[in-house]
């Protein structure tokens, strides 16, 4: 599979190293050249210094036709912008944006963008280790309704496994988002205050006690 990663931090570089070693085609972006020092000398993929939120930078460096897009920088805004470019401009079938704020992660998921929340994952890990009953939000929040632009079928051979069929079914029949997005001048979708409140309420329903 072709996998694009934006952000060569600890998570991005570790994923890039392991995916590359497994034989996947990996393209990783970061705005700092020094970030690529985290990659091993054996890395065979492409390490690109550039802005992963910029459509032209992504296109010129091979993001078009990717099977998976992971936005893993330290900035929530950058991650969601990159994810929206991947879904709207490239119609990449599998996209995940890392969002540290649990409420924002739920809000963006309500708008149809799969989110990875490190905060929820860490709270869940601590609660599990200490055997404490605690409410923990989802580590990866998969939207009930896919993003309106997120409808391309995975490439042939991509996503082989038990999760491939549900993903394909979602791609064939996308439903409109339940919250109306706010259009900004750069056409990026951001949650309104009402979206955040609603997502927080629904997020608590999804939480495990």
Whether residue 203 has pLDDT greater than 60: no
Please name every residue paired with 3 in a beta bridge, in sequence order, or none if there are none: 26, 68
Q: Which pTM was predicted?
A: 0.71
- Collapsing DSSP to helix, strand or coil, 200 comes out as helix
Reported confidence tier of residue 154, pLDDT bands at 50, 70, 90: very low
Phi first, then psi, for residue 170 (nearest 5°) are -65, -40
Quote the pLDDT of residue 138. 84
Nearest alpha carbon to residue 142 among 184, 172, 112: 112
The single residue listed with the structure tokens 């996209």 is 95
Among residues 30, 31, 36, 3, the alpha carbon closest in space to that of 19 is found at 3
Q: Model confidence over 36-63: pLDDT tens digits?
A: 999 999 999 999 999 999 999 999 999 9
Side-chain-facing half-sphere of 188: CA atoms under 13 Å: 17
Show the tokens assigned to 145.
Answer: 């309704």
Report for 26-35, 104-113, 184-193: range of highest mean pLDDT: 26-35
Q: Give the homologous superfamily in CATH for domain 2-155+170-206.
A: NAD(P)-binding Rossmann-like Domain (3.40.50.720)
**Structure tokens belonging to residue 52:** 């992963």
Alpha helices in the chain (DSSP H): 10-21, 55-60, 76-88, 102-110, 118-130, 164-172, 193-206
Residue 156 has pLDDT above 50, yes or no: no
Q: What is the DSSP letter of 22?
A: T
């Amino acid at each position: 599979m072709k996998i694009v990663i934006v952000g060569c931090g600890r998570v991005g570089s570790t994923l890039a190293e392991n995916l590359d070693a497994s034989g996947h085609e990996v393209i990783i972006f970061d705005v700092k050249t020094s970030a690529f020092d985290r990659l091993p000398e054996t890395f065979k993929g492409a390490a690109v210094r550039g802005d992963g939120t910029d459509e032209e930078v992504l296109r010129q460096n091979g993001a078009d036709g990717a099977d998976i897009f992971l936005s893993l920088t330290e900035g929530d805004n950058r991650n969601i912008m990159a994810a929206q470019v991947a879904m709207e401009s490239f119609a990449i079938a599998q996209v995940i944006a890392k969002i540290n704020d649990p409420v924002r992660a739920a809000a963006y998921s309500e708008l149809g963008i799969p989110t990875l929340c490190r905060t929820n994952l860490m709270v869940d890990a601590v609660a599990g280790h200490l055997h404490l009953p605690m409410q923990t939000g989802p580590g990866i929040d998969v939207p009930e309704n896919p993003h309106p632009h997120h409808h391309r079928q995975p490439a042939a051979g991509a996503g082989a496994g038990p999760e491939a069929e549900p993903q394909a079914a979602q791609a064939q029949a996308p439903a409109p988002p339940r919250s109306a997005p706010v259009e900004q001048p750069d056409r990026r979708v951001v949650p309104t205050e009402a979206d955040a409140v609603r997502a927080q309420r629904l997020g608590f329903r999804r939480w495990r006690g």
